[in-house]
Structure 1
Amino acid sequence: MPVNYSVLMSVYYKEHPDYLRQSMQSIYDQTVPTDDFVLVCDGPLTPELDTVIADMQQQFGPRLNVCRLLKNGGLGKALNFGIGQCKNDLVARMDSDDVSRPDRCERQLAVFQNYPEYSLVSGIVEEFSDTITNVSVRRIVPEHQNDIIAFAKKRNPFNHPCIMYKKSDVEAAGGYQDFYLLEDYYLWIRMIQQGFIGYNLQEPLLWMRAGSDMYKRRGGWKYFLSQRKLLCYMYQSEFITYSQYLMGTFIRLGVAMAPNNFRSFVFNNILRRKMNKNSMGGGVTRYSQLNRLNPMWTWGVVCD
């Protein structure tokens, strides 16, 4: 497949060196390799992280472009800077602790080739702890634009860790903004409002590292205020109704202030599809099937 694409990753000092190495290796092992890997170091890193980057620089050669920011400015600012460094219009996002499936980018490139009108292509992620063989749940998102729009009024309609998008369209929508833990969700809403078309492959594309730290980040007063700010934007821009705004605010306040083990229960039993023997064997529940089985599932209680 002759289409070129860039990879965009940001890393900061708190990241685990082994996770970073595994994540970058999964990009190196893609069936369609990238010719442009942009790694943004968001502020000074630890010596251990710098060692991993030096090793990967030897492996990738000139394809790896390491950009170092003097200060840690947050994910939104780091990604906005990184987009400007990407050489290709198609950009695959990658987090520094997740693992892409080997054919992830090949599948997404095929969609863009067949449907050049699309601006965003993501898919299903499988959440794991410790190793990728220890997968417990999947985050399934809707496939087509109409369902994506409806879903976006309640929950994040794309899995950011495995999205591929057109750089030109992201920049036309204003790029990433500084929005605590919701930079991607805010961007998707603005792109939808401007008429850009998205699509979600109903196949697993990436293993996403989960655990108690992830649930902690989805709680607390600061996170709730960020959620409320996003809901205010959605209401004021007439993306949601006033009743949807009130319901969303009430539910998110309750979950944000709840104990961490309760949020873990919500994520793993309401907002995700549990893995079973059949699904572990390769069968994937599609969004349309899941919505039929449990209509309340679409009323997710956090902006995940």
Structure 2
Amino acid sequence: MNGAFSLLIPVYRGDDPAHFAKAFSSSVGEQTVKPAQVVLVQDGPVGDVLAAAIDHAVESSPVPVTRHRIEDNVGLARALDVGLTLCEHEIVARMDADDISLPERFARQLPVVEGGVDLVGTGMFEFLDDGGAIVARRVPRTGHDEISRYARFHDPFSHPTVMYRRSAVQRAGGYQPLGLMEDYWLFARMIDAGASVENIPDPLVMYRVGAGAYARRGGQAQWRSELELQRALRRIRFTSRWEYVRNVSVRGVYRFVPEGVRKIAYRRLIAKG
């Protein structure tokens, strides 16, 4: 390994220009170990203000930026799959357009991947849009065996925190559209294909929690995505029949309980702090 890696960031019309600017700067210029390349995928048309923010980020970036425009909005999974083909390096870090990377993020993750791990995530701080107050800390499972066990019930990685080997992603079939859960579906397939996985428990990303964050985790659309995911996991035998029944029952109830109950359950099951 030569220490070089690509940073993959998708952007679409719903992203806030100011949030994007901070996400970009925190993941590029403010990192103690910087990416060698940024791949910025523009998924469909964006407004003038966001376009101007993207232009400024590209022009002022301290590292080369490969900017790719997709004419029509094709969704996150397809945009990321396109972006992966443009990454020049085997190691790829992911970032969303509205979160913040802490300065030591890549310095902490890169040695783990260079040491032989195919996929590594980190912990996160959740913070509010208004004022930036930290409201929770997500502490992920660690250790390959524990992560693999936990993955049978819940996504063991926070997508905006991950760094992975591009070949391991492609070996598992790449990003594939699956409702609202393309990241979980990818990570499960990577584990199933034999990828070595790990998490750094320390929070190295700030995850933005806006109004309605918990409401969006419930409802019919989420339930349809949940059911599609559970059927897909069972189809590849990643989960047993019992695990499928348990997941559909428990996670299904979670999608329809009142928002306040969902928030409490989320905090107890996923986030600590």
**TM-score if structure 1 supplies the norm length?**
0.85
Aligned residues of 2:44 and 2:72 also touching (Cα < 8 A): yes
Say yes or no: does 1:55 pair with 2:56. yes
CA distance in 1, matches of 2:196, 2:2: 23
> What letter is aligned with 2:33?
V
State the Cα distance separating 1:61 from its structure 2 match.
5.8
Say yes or no: does 1:45 pair with 2:46. yes
> What letter is aligned with 2:261?
F
State the Cα distance separating 1:172 from its structure 2 match.
1.2
Q: Note the 1:216-231 alignment, pairs <5 A.
A: 216-231=215-230
Counterpart position of 2:245: 246
State the Cα distance separating 1:133 from its structure 2 match.
5.1
CA distance in 2, matches of 1:210, 1:62: 29
CA distance in 2, matches of 1:272, 1:193: 25
Q: Secondary structure at the match of 2:180?
A: coil
Q: Secondary structure at the match of 1:214?
A: coil
CA distance in 1, matches of 2:63, 2:162: 24
Counterpart position of 2:188: 189
Coordinate RMSD, CA, aligned: 1.7
Distance of aligned partners of 1:36 and 1:226 in 2 relative to their CA distance in 1, 3 Å threshold: same
CA distance in 1, matches of 2:5, 2:130: 28
Q: Note the 1:171-186 alignment, pairs <5 A.
A: 171-186=170-185
State the Cα distance separating 1:264 from its structure 2 match.
2.2
CA distance in 2, matches of 1:83, 1:72: 17
Distance of aligned partners of 1:227 and 1:124 in 2 relative to their CA distance in 1, 3 Å threshold: same
CA distance in 2, matches of 1:269, 1:155: 13
CA distance in 1, matches of 2:161, 2:232: 25
State the Cα distance separating 1:241 from its structure 2 match.
2.2
State the Cα distance separating 1:132 from its structure 2 match.
8.1
> What letter is aligned with 1:3?
G
Q: Secondary structure at the match of 1:212?
A: coil
Q: Secondary structure at the match of 2:61?
A: helix
> What letter is aligned with 1:268?
R
Q: Secondary structure at the match of 2:118?
A: strand
Q: Which ranges in structure 1 are unaligned for 5 or more consecutive residues? A: 275-304
Counterpart position of 1:111: 112
CA offsets 1:25-47 (integer angstroms, 9 cap, x no match): 10121111112101111100011
Aligned residues of 1:212 and 1:264 also touching (Cα < 8 A): no
Distance of aligned partners of 1:189 and 1:174 in 2 relative to their CA distance in 1, 3 Å threshold: same
CA offsets 1:256-295 (integer angstroms, 9 cap, x no match): 1223333222223442102xxxxxxxxxxxxxxxxxxxxx
Aligned residues between the structures: 272
> What letter is aligned with 1:34?
P
CA distance in 2, matches of 1:138, 1:58: 34
Aligned residues of 1:132 and 1:207 also touching (Cα < 8 A): no
CA distance in 2, matches of 1:268, 1:62: 38
Aligned residues of 2:38 and 2:63 also touching (Cα < 8 A): no
CA distance in 1, matches of 2:203, 2:70: 33
CA distance in 2, matches of 1:17, 1:58: 15
> What letter is aligned with 1:143?
T
State the Cα distance separating 1:2 from its structure 2 match.
5.1
Counterpart position of 1:96: 97
CA distance in 2, matches of 1:54, 1:143: 38
> What letter is aligned with 1:71?
D
Taking every aligned residue pair, what percent have the same amino acid on both sides?
32
Q: Note the 1:23-38 alignment, pairs <5 A.
A: 23-27=23-27, 28-38=29-39
Aligned residues of 1:10 and 1:42 also touching (Cα < 8 A): yes
Q: Secondary structure at the match of 1:264?
A: helix
> What letter is aligned with 1:107?
R
Q: Secondary structure at the match of 2:46?
A: coil
Q: Secondary structure at the match of 2:214?
A: helix
Aligned residues of 2:168 and 2:195 also touching (Cα < 8 A): yes
Counterpart position of 2:13: 13
Aligned residues of 1:16 and 1:49 also touching (Cα < 8 A): yes
Aligned residues of 2:100 and 2:205 also touching (Cα < 8 A): yes
State the Cα distance separating 1:186 from its structure 2 match.
0.4
CA distance in 2, matches of 1:156, 1:211: 21
CA distance in 2, matches of 1:86, 1:225: 32
CA offsets 1:226-261 (integer angstroms, 9 cap, x no match): 111211222233222222211211122222122333
CA offsets 1:147-202 (integer angstroms, 9 cap, x no match): 01110011101111110000111011110001122111101111111111101112
Q: Secondary structure at the match of 1:213?
A: coil
Farther off after superposition, 215-224 or 189-198: 215-224
